[in-house]
Structure 1
Amino acid sequence: MRMTQNRWVAFRGWPVEALEFYEGLAADNSKTYWTEHLAFYEDRVRGPMRELLAELEPEFGPGKIFRPYRDVRFSKDKSPYKTHLGAWLALGGYIQLSADGLAAGSGAYRMEPDELDRYRRAVAGERTGTELTELIAAIESGGIGVRGHDSLKTAPRGYPRDHPRVALLRHRGLTTWIEWPPAAWLGTAAARNRIAGFLRASRPLRQWLEANVRS
């Protein structure tokens, strides 16, 4: 819940018009479109995200909503606005709303060099590596994907190509990820329950990373 004008507002999901807003933005990514729809964005798109983060905070830590503006300094695409709304939670979690529906992720999208070294050592270790493969299997059995990011084409230097966990060794990022297409429940409090359930199911991977990579 969030406080507004001296009253608490509970999260009730996003209206279908919130997704239509992003459909329109993808078709007309201009300052004119953004300005004309800014009040709607603040009230019906960003507002529900603030409410959601407030309700998730007791279990998953405070959240932050990312800015809607793209960094176009080094991009050929000069479209000024992101066609999705993203937010993160301090205790591990990413939430995204777009015209395609709702999505969520958790883990380490990109590891720093020192983190990557610790990650590879942990993956190669018999106890910690086996623990990782087992928890990934458990997470995926619940319908949640586990993705590697920025992966090498072969084993990293210093590790054998025939290592039993070479596929994990090649990753430079590792996250859980789930996508939900547009559905009626997105406009209800059930959206919060789905996000919370995903984050709880993803917790073993986050805890493994905290213990073996970020410590």
Structure 2
Amino acid sequence: MTAFTGWPADATAFLAEIEADNTREFWTANAHRHAEAVHGPMRALAAVLEPEFGPLRVLRPHRNRRFLPTAPPYRTDTGGVARSPGGAALTVVLSATALTTAAGHWAFDTGQLRRYRVAVLEETGEELPALLAGHVVDGSRSLRGVPRGFTGGHERIELLRLLGLQVVTSRPAGPWLSTPEPLGHVRAAWRAAAPVVAWLDRHVGPADPVPPRPRPAP
């Protein structure tokens, strides 16, 4: 296992450059920089985290544009994703400006959302505000109004508005990224989120299986 010693200063510089020039020509001339300064350290970080949090899928630098044909062809960040036993995501992402972690579900599917709201309404939901205390909750996936069938006066209405639940941390990029410190930062963030992840695993669980597409008749 390769030790994680941090990202060299060229990592965030490269990510900023690929954001400014997201072309095949730039990538072809500079792919070696990504491998050495960005992807290599990310794989090393994933390997060190794996014994505690399970395998991390390291993001590929090339975007899959099958469903996002207008997206830039090359990622302007790097990161990895692990999964809890109940399907919650543990993510770490390095961009040109910050190192960000998240734990939970960015977006619930229909079954997860139903199970989540039931759990929030029942006695199990009483403990969730305390579990979230001290965390930053990502509110980007949240209803502006009130879910159908509820009133704005419900004591846990802000939780019921959420269409996904994950807690996040973000620390600005700087010289600290070139030290082993990011490893401790990610570990601490994911460990602190463990009670929230455990609640989600118990009461929400993984996404519902996607049924296979029917094959066209011969």
* 1:54-88 alpha-carbon deviations (Å, 9 max, x no partner): 11111111111122223445557452111111210
Matches within 5 A, 1:113-124: 113-124=110-121
CA–CA distance in 1 between the matches of 2:168 and 2:162?
A: 15
Q: Does 1:129 align with 2:120?
A: no
Q: Does 1:171 align with 2:167?
A: no
Q: 1:98 is matched by which residue type in structure 2?
A: S
Compute the displacement of 1:130 (Å): 1.5
1:182 counterpart (145, 167, 173): 173
1:13 counterpart (1, 6, 27): 6
Output the TM-score relative to the length of structure 2: 0.87
1:105 corresponds to: 102
* 1:80-116 alpha-carbon deviations (Å, 9 max, x no partner): 1111112101334101011112111110111111110
Q: Report the 3-state secondary structure (helix = DSSP H, G, I; strand = E; otherwise coil) of the residue aligned with 2:16.
A: helix
In the alignment, structure 1 segments of 5+ residues that lack a partner are 3-8
2:213 corresponds to: none
Structure 1 vs Structure 2: percent identity of aligned residues? 38
The answer (yes or no) to whether the contact 1:152–1:170 under 8 Å persists in 2 is yes
The answer (yes or no) to whether the contact 1:149–1:174 under 8 Å persists in 2 is no
1:195 counterpart (179, 186, 189): 186
CA–CA distance in 1 between the matches of 2:173 and 2:62?
A: 24
Compute the displacement of 1:199 (Å): 0.3
Matches within 5 A, 1:46-85: 46-73=39-66, 75=68, 77-85=70-78
Q: 1:86 is matched by which residue type in structure 2?
A: G
* 1:157-212 alpha-carbon deviations (Å, 9 max, x no partner): 22233211111101110111111111222111111001000000011111110011
Q: 1:205 is matched by which residue type in structure 2?
A: V
Q: Does 1:151 align with 2:142?
A: yes
Q: 1:129 is matched by which residue type in structure 2?
A: G
CA–CA distance in 2 between the matches of 1:55 and 1:74?
A: 32
CA–CA distance in 2 between the matches of 1:136 and 1:90?
A: 20
- Structure with more of its chain in strand, by fraction: 1
Output the TM-score relative to the length of structure 1: 0.88
Q: Report the 3-state secondary structure (helix = DSSP H, G, I; strand = E; otherwise coil) of the residue aligned with 1:178.
A: strand
Aligned alpha-carbon RMSD (Å): 1.6
